[in-house]
Structure 1
Amino acid sequence: MKKSVATIRDVATAAGVSTATVSKFVNGTQRFSPAVEARLTSVIEQLGYRSNPMAQSMITGRTKAIGLSVLDITNPHFTSVVKGANRVAQAHGYTVLLVDTEETQERERQLLEALSRRVDGMIVYSRTPEEELGWLLALDRPAVYFGRPERLALPAVASDDQLGAFMVTRHLLTQGHKRVAYLSFAPSRRDRERMAGVREALAALGLELTVFEADAPSADGGERLSSAIMLGRQPPDALVCYNDLTALGFLKGAQELGFNVPDDISVAGFDNIQYGSFATPGLTSVDLHSERMGAAAMQKLLASIEGQEVEPLTVIDAQLVLRGSTTTRA
């Protein structure tokens, strides 16, 4: 005969307390004397009692779930963000529910509104312009935003994209490069910060920036532009790419056209994804510490859920990682 599952009433009877006491103890909403808590812990273990998550959420108003939206889960940068966020969530007894908006702004609102009904709070990457994100605030859920919000009254976590872009461009200039170009992805707000950093470094030497625009922040997007960049009348001698994926795609395309990286052109990206170190040559990149970003966002959100005050903006430092895709010019 199948063994019956222990109920909250069974625990209360065996421990000699009320069902309300068991509920408060299991859900962590009230502390009791050490003797009572020890007795409850022992009985729960002996009976193998497991609380019903749905019943628990009805009592506490908490789902113990966090929503996390990313723009493209196939991009290793976002995979690392999820890993960092999930590690912190698990340590605090939360489950992460993931939504991949697939770089599609039109799907974003529908997916996040549905997600908000199942979670205690959300961490959000978004391509939607800030002035159109009023609906996000109306969801009435604690939320943390990735990026530097100019209008949204939300706590945020951001990387120092402009400084990172300045660092990598300044490095290229010290290597003797004169014709530095930037491979852009305009729909991204972070793209503007990165382009500003490149311009700032070039302006210090009175140099102009040439910009090429990718149609997708992917390896395919970078590869599609390789011929336009390398076969133009005055190709650059260095290229800073919006991210590592576009840089790796460009690197592949340039090599297939017969060009040598870095002898003909130095190439650098952003995010320091793991695949960059396995490319030939290895890809120079600005490490924005994606995993740390995810962890910091989750810590900030959990604090908000508990009603604690949090800093409006947490900025994660950038770090330049040098590999073989950049070299000194004679």
Structure 2
Amino acid sequence: MKSSAPTIRDVAAAAQVSTATVSKYINGAQRFSPKVEAALDEAIAALGYRSNPLAKSMITGRTNTIGLSVLDINNPHFSSILKGANRVAHEQEYSVLLVDTEETPSRERRTLEDLSRRVDGMIVFSRMREHEMGWMAGIDKPLVFFGSLNELAIPTVASDDHGGAFMLAQHLRMLGHKRIAYLGFSRSRRDEERLGGIRECLDAAGIELTVHDGENPSMVEGERLCSGVVLGPQRPDAVICYNDLMALGFMKECANLGLSIPRDLSVVGFDNIAYGKYVTPALTTVDLQSERMGATAMTKLLAVIRGEQVERLTKVAPQLVLRASTQARKG
């Protein structure tokens, strides 16, 4: 019959100290003389004692767990963010508790408030507009937000969406494209930044932009929008998609409609997800450094938890990734 696990009382008896002394020692609440600590270490090792994380959290008020809220874990962009955040958390002996709000703003507040009661701090993605997020500043846990905020005093980590969008538009402009469309997702605050970067570049060249708004940032939506974009009277010669998922769905439907990319039109996206490298033609995109963003956000949050001062906004620079889905226009 398997013996029961050793308890804090067993450690106290073996080390000839009180249970209170054992509790304070294993939870780091107090230091003792070298002789007492040596006796405690010897007893813990001999008995194979393992502390109870739940009991420890009740004593210290800490869970050593960070909450990470993402919008859609099926999107590889968020998977990469989780990977970067989890790596830093593991190095600092923290665990990550992931929640997926599934692109549903109506459930975000309740989900985040519930999450806050189980973690030491949170890293948050949200589709809410800033004027709807005042309650978030009242959560009594350290927070780091993904994206730019103008008024709320919450530390943030953001990609340079405006700069990345400008790069994509400039690339298409240099290839000689004159009729450019944007497949956007206006429910996202990042859409506004991307659209702003595209317009800044194209307006300077006197190139008009046609905008199509998607209902969600998915491959299915890119596929659904495609026919309305390419079969109309003013077919574009280049399409910028809100993200790579929309771009991949759009490219698939272009092939179904008998169009060749990039011969008939160039297509680009955002995020540099792994799939984009392996489709045919490979997708030109902007790498927003998703994994680095996750690592940066986790590093920043852990600094806040330690009581350190951090900069209000940390921006991660994008990188243009050129592949075969774009080519120069002829004539």
Structure 1 and Structure 2 fold alike (TM over 0.5): yes
1:282-327 deviations in Å (ceiling 9; x for gaps): 0111001111111111111111111111111111110011111111
Alignment match, 2:290: 290
| Counterpart residue number, 2:202 | 202
1:320 match: 320
Q: Which amino acid aligns with 2:7?
A: T
**Any idea what SS the aligned residue of 1:20 has?**
helix
Aligned to 1:83: 83
Bigger mean CA deviation after superposition, 313-322 or 129-138: 129-138
SS at match of 2:315: strand
Q: What aligned pairs does 1:60-71 form with structure 2 within 5 A after superposition?
A: 60-71=60-71
Q: Deviations over 1:63-89 (max 9, x none)?
A: 111111110010000111111111111
- The secondary structure found in structure 1 opposite 2:68 is strand
- 2:302 matched residue in structure 1: 302
Name the stretch that deviates more: 59-68 or 29-38: 29-38
Read off the aligned partner of 2:325 and give its amino acid letter. S
Higher mean C-alpha displacement, 67-76 vs 197-206: 197-206
Query: How many angstroms apart in 1 are the aligned matches of 2:308 and 2:44?
Result: 32
Pick closer, same or farther for the CA change 1:31–1:84 going to 2, 3 Å: farther
CA offset digits 1:32-65 (Å, max 9, x no partner): 5556545433332221111111210111001111
Matched, 1:4 2:4: yes
Shift of 1:160: 0.5
Question: How far is 1:137 from its partner?
Answer: 1.8
Instruction: Give the AA of the match of 1:60.
Output: T
- Over 3 Å counting, the alpha-carbon distance change for 1:178 and 1:56 in structure 2 is same
CA deviations 1:115-146 (Å, max 9, x no partner) are 11111111110011111112212221111100
In the aligned structure 1, how far is the partner of 2:195 from the partner of 2:292? 23
Q: CA deviation at 1:28?
A: 2.9
Where structure 2 has 5 or more consecutive residues not aligned to the other structure, the ranges are none
2:69 match: secondary structure: strand
Amino acid at match of 1:329: R
Partner of 2:227: 227
1:39 and 1:316 map into 2 onto residues whose CA distance is 49
> Is the deviation greater in 75-84 or in 1-10?
1-10
Q: Tell me which residue corresponds to 1:149.
A: 149
> Within 2, Cα distance between the matches of 1:120 and 1:80?
22
Give the letter aligned to residue 246 of structure 1. Answer: M
Aligned equivalent of 1:160 = 160
Q: Which amino acid is the alignment partner of residue 40 of structure 2?
A: L
SS in structure 2 of the partner of residue 225 of structure 1: helix
Matches within 5 A, 1:1-330: 1-32=1-32, 36-330=36-330
- Runs of 4 or more, structure 1, over 6 Å off, are none
Query: 1:161 deviation in Å?
Result: 0.5
Q: In the aligned structure 2, how far is the partner of 1:34 from the partner of 1:205?
A: 74
Work out the CA distance in 1 between the residues paired with 2:95 and 2:21.
26
Give me the TM-score of the superposition, normalised by structure 2. 0.95
> Aligned in 2, Cα 1:36/1:238: closer, same or farther, shift over 3 Å?
farther
What one-letter code is carried by the residue in structure 2 that aligns with 1:100? D
Q: After superposition, what is the alpha-carbon deviation per residue over 1:79-125, rounded to whole angstroms, capped at 9, x for unaligned?
A: 11111111111222212111111100111111111111111111110
C-alpha change, 1:35 and 1:205, in structure 2 (3 Å) is: farther
Helix, strand or coil: the match of 1:222?
helix
Distance 2:300 2:35 in 1: 35
Count of residue pairs brought into register by the alignment = 330
The offset of 1:26, in angstroms, is 2.0
Q: What is the TM-score of this pair, normalised by structure 1?
A: 0.96
Q: Percent identity between the aligned chains?
A: 63
1:9 shift after superposition? 2.4
Letter in 2 for 1:251: M
CA drift at 1:255: 1.1
- The amino acid of 1:67's aligned partner reads G
Work out the CA distance in 1 between the residues paired with 2:327 and 2:29: 60
Structure 1 residues 228 and 27 mapped into 2: Cα distance closer, same or farther (>3 Å)?
Answer: same
Rounded to whole Å, the distance in 2 between the matches of 1:33 and 1:296 is 39
Alpha-carbon distance in 2 for matches of 1:185, 1:110: 24
Q: Any idea what the Cα deviations from partners look like across 1:232-257, whole Å, max 9, x if unmatched?
A: 11111111110000000111111110
Amino acid at match of 2:213: E
Cα distance in 2 between the residues matched to 1:211 and 1:163:
19
How big is the shift at 1:229? 0.8
My pick for the range that moved more, 132-141 or 78-87, is 132-141
Supply the distance in 2 between the matched residues of 1:182 and 1:224 (Cα, whole angstroms): 14
What is the CA RMSD across the aligned residues, in angstroms?
1.5
Question: SS of 2:320's equivalent?
Answer: strand
